[in-house]
A and B are shown apart, each in its own frame.
Chain A
Amino acid sequence: MSLPEILLRLVLAFGIVVTFVALNALFLVWLERKVSAVIQNRMGPMEVGPIGLLQTMADALKLLGKEMITPTSVDRIAFLLAPIIAFLPAPLLVAAIPIAEGVGASDLNVGAIYLFAIANIAFLGILMAGWSSNNKYSLLGAMRAVAQNVSYEIPMLLAVLTVILMAGSLKLSDVVAAQSPVPFIVFQPIAFVIYLICGVAESNRTPFDLPEAESELVAGYHTEFTGMRFALFFLAEYTQVFVLSAIITLFFLGGWNGPFLPGWLWFFLKTYVMIFIVMWLRWTYPRLRSDQLMNFNWRVLLPLAILNLLISTVLYRGGL
């Protein structure tokens, strides 16, 4: 393959992924507002476009025209870089997710590790944002976010390890292929629940939204960020929700396997149902307290995850 051809392919892949990231975030913000509206017995956005579908598009355009204020007391370099660093993992993660048999920007043979390694770049962006803002709310939000995210990382990885154990491969398409008749959720219900809890905690959403608890911290780590900078944090957050649901779909719900419908449709169906469940959680549960959150992770989730991995290792070798 010649060099221009390779470059063309790379640019094409980047264009498709970024377009998907943007459209997905716009749709998810709309969906979130609609879901919250239904749960709180309201109508939600109705004015712009049919049933308010274009509302988020209008919001995004409005954000583009907003002034970006850089407070004088911030650490300029870290402040300017933070939103970009926080946004960096979003397209990288989406690019690594295969949506059907052989369809996906890059199906790496270390896919599972890659996903969890790249996802952690977002925490660097959050810490940079919180520290550089020189704002008490931001700093508190960032410290909480990082402490919470790193601790929920461990049970999350241990839960995924049980699936990797059963699939015998780190490649995402192999993991999906291994669940051809029966998805792994049937064999690993505990791992599924642990992963779901940790995933919601990692994406900083209620009941784990301490980093941006509105009632005490204004907006948490992105208090000082205006306009497009804020929009980048928002994009990153909603892409994270999509990636969380997509990973659950790939690892536990059988990916694109399913009868009658084409594979990619099954994938998106399962993913968006998971996204709906995550939103449902957000609008029905109250927020946890900081110490409850930490104790729950270290005393319940982590021992449970270790035990789960132990038992499945032995059982799996024993013929299951």
Chain B
Amino acid sequence: MDQIQNIIPVSMAIGTLLFGGFLVGLPYLIAPRSKGRYRSETYESGQPIIGEAWVQVRAHYYIYALVFMAFDVETAFIVPCVAVLRSWDSWLPVIEVVAFLVILSLSLVYALKKKVLEWT
């Protein structure tokens, strides 16, 4: 039974991809087709299209992504530690988790001071 439980997510993923493909493919068989000069143009509220949308985005997003990475990975590190905290009969892991969280909040203070998280 346990074996089946573990392969369900994988089979579910394969099934969903097939099912999604089927749903998207079905209208090609039954839906009508229109024609027209402007039919396949990008939508821009009816105005003539100005340039492409594939432009450079703010470099700010990159730094922001780095900060997010740091925090997310550190959060992921606490998960197993917190999950087993209950079964340890000692204060040592608690002190370690607390120290870790304090360092984490210091990095948040640093990021705020450096104005990485400023959005205007």
Given A170-B83, A298-B108, A299-B112, the answer on whether A154 and B98 have CB atoms closer than 8 Å is: no
Complex contact A88–B31 (CB within 8 A):
no
How many chain-B residues does the 8 Å CB contact rule pick out? Answer: 66
Complex contact B7–A10 (CB within 8 A):
yes
How many chain-A residues does the 8 Å CB contact rule pick out? Answer: 83
A290 CA to B33 CA, complexed, in Å: 39
A87 CA to B16 CA, complexed, in Å: 8
Given A64-B27, A164-B79, A227-B27, the answer on whether A136 and B9 have CB atoms closer than 8 Å is: no
> Is A284 located at the chain interface by the 8 A CB criterion?
no
A169 CA to B86 CA, complexed, in Å: 9
Tell me the minimal C-beta distance from A309 to chain B in angstroms: 6
Complex contact A310–B108 (CB within 8 A):
no
Complex contact B16–A91 (CB within 8 A):
yes
> Is B110 located at the chain interface by the 8 A CB criterion?
no
Given A161-B79, A299-B112, A303-B105, the answer on whether A108 and B5 have CB atoms closer than 8 Å is: yes
Tell me the minimal C-beta distance from B77 to chain A in angstroms: 11
A91 CA to B21 CA, complexed, in Å: 14
Residue of A nearest to B30 (CB): A65
Complex contact B68–A150 (CB within 8 A):
yes
Given A67-B34, A135-B44, the answer on whether A169 and B6 have CB atoms closer than 8 Å is: no
Residues of chain B lying within 8 A (CB to CB) of residue A71:
40-43
Complex contact B8–A106 (CB within 8 A):
yes
Interface contacts beyond A153-B68, A161-B75: sample of 14 additional A-B pairs, CB < 8 Å, sorted by A: A10-B8, A10-B11, A13-B12, A106-B6, A107-B5, A114-B9, A133-B53, A147-B61, A161-B79, A218-B45, A228-B24, A309-B101, A310-B98, A313-B82
Q: List 9 A-B contacts (CB under 8 A).
A: A13-B12, A72-B40, A73-B42, A105-B5, A136-B53, A291-B120, A298-B108, A313-B82, A317-B91
Identify the A interface with B (CB < 8 A).
Answer: 1, 6, 9-11, 13-14, 17-18, 64-74, 80, 83-84, 87-88, 90-92, 95-96, 105-108, 112-114, 118, 131, 133-139, 143, 147, 150-151, 153-154, 157-158, 161, 164-165, 168-170, 218, 223-224, 227-229, 231-232, 290-291, 294-295, 298-299, 302-303, 306, 309-310, 313-314, 316-317
In the A-B complex, the 6 residue pairs with the closest CB atoms: A168-B86, A84-B20, A291-B119, A106-B8, A106-B5, A14-B15
